[in-house]
Structure 1
Amino acid sequence: MEPLGTARTDAYLRRLGAARPDRPTAASLRELHLCHLRTVPFENLSIHLGEDLVLTPDAVFDKIVTAGRGGICYELNGGFAALLGALGHRVELLQARVYGKDGALGVPYDHLALRVDGRWLADVGFGDHTALPLDLDEPGEQKDPRGVFQVRPARDEEEDGDGDEEEGGGDLEVLHDGVPVYRLETRPRVLADFRTGAWWHRTSPESGFTKGPVCSRLTEDGGRITLRDHTLIATSADGNRAEEELATDEEVRAAYRTGFGIVLDRLPVPLHPRP
């Protein structure tokens, strides 16, 4: 990602409510990572509002900063990469394939994550995931406010006829509480590489993103607030969950405004509704 200019960097930091760090450090990265998760929601509303997902630096900046919206992984991590680069971090875009509930891997370029300064795995675009970057140099378990995570070398269970391991979808596996969540390649990519994955997620009936609108962010107390269609879900830091069904469209629009700072003149309509 091309780094932002000074004015855009300052605007992005204001969007996060964060001060400009004196220099790029692991501590400042952790603080910005947490601010991003608390401020910029993970949301797929564009898919259900008939808006395209445009993966260019200008479009990502305008959506997150100028329009005060959020986005899916390509947009959120793409924007965060540009901000970190402007602040002096060395940032590489990595592609990942997400494990489904059945244990199968998703499509190539399923997910975008970031390697920062050659050591840190930053990811502000995976919904309920880490609150802080993971240390790629640590092979063991890593405790995070959102659970216990691990980054380990990936190994395919099946082998080809010669006894050699078949090439898998990535080089590293990221686990959350012992369960693999995605497989990460370590080869750096550019934002344009992810356009096919974004198109699939925006259009395919098999994509979970086309089933209905969702908007979610981390809260200041370590919990999470989520609006899934007309259901408002509040999850506390200790995992307690409360749901409220919103009866009217105005209640839904109000929840977007108060919970996420998103002002809509019309509500998103599911592209491929669940049966």
Structure 2
Amino acid sequence: MKKTSETPHITMEHLQDRCLELEQQNAELMAKLKWYEEQFRLAQQKRFGASSEKTHPDQLELNLFNEAEMLATPAAQEPDVETVTYSRKKSAGRKSKLDQFPVETVLYELPKTEQVCACCGGPLHEMSTETRNEITVIPAEVKVVRHVRQVYACRRCEREEIRTPIVTAPMPEPVYPGSLSSPSSMAYVMTQKYVDSQPLYRQEQQFARMGLTISRQTLANWMIYGAEQWLSLLTDRMREHLLNQDILHADETTLQVLREPGRSAETQSYLWLYRTGRMG
């Protein structure tokens, strides 16, 4: 007897799922196409375009080394995440790179009323857990620290009209008298500038987005005062140690200082970098 093949029954739900699947594939392909187009454009620009990188117009006016002096006024690859639901011996070299950070655990569990088997109605027990790690970044925030110190006097001496001693509670001196800066804010500005390569005009914009209006000139004053008043203690000690070495390496770099007492803006200045040989 001749066998006849049965035509599979295609439902509307099946067609809708297939349509959604094709739309998702199309979106992924379009994303890949745009990525390749962007890589091609960058390659063409690198090969035939201008060799100089476009720079913010404000940044063109700022020198890498003397930005603070110009503005001052006389005032990655993600770490591997391993998820396991049972104990096992980890292979060598797979130690998580997240161990150095604090961990906040969020536990998700069923309410007691839902811990009932849908099949037989018996109670459910915890069989295992599923773990997922994610990185949370806490943005920098601005906080006002108001220093208030108490001043004390003697009531008895006041009543008897005796010389009244006034006692004031001790309070730490400000890092920059007459300024809103603190040790943390001054160190933050310096680190952003010289470690993270953030010019002062960008830091000014960053503080503005945080709701704090502070000019780049003020930030420059903080940096100069901090360098002259506090970091000089460290640099003087480093210089003393440097001069005790037998061999030094030096590098001379020319730069232009726009505002230098007794010298015109066109005068060529120099920046010298010294370092020792290998210690040991």
Length-normalised TM-score, structure 1: 0.22
Larger-Rg structure: 2
Highest RCO, 1 vs 2 (Cα 8 Å, sep ≥ 6): 1
Considering fraction of residues, name the structure with more helix. 2
Is the strand fraction higher in 1 or 2? 1
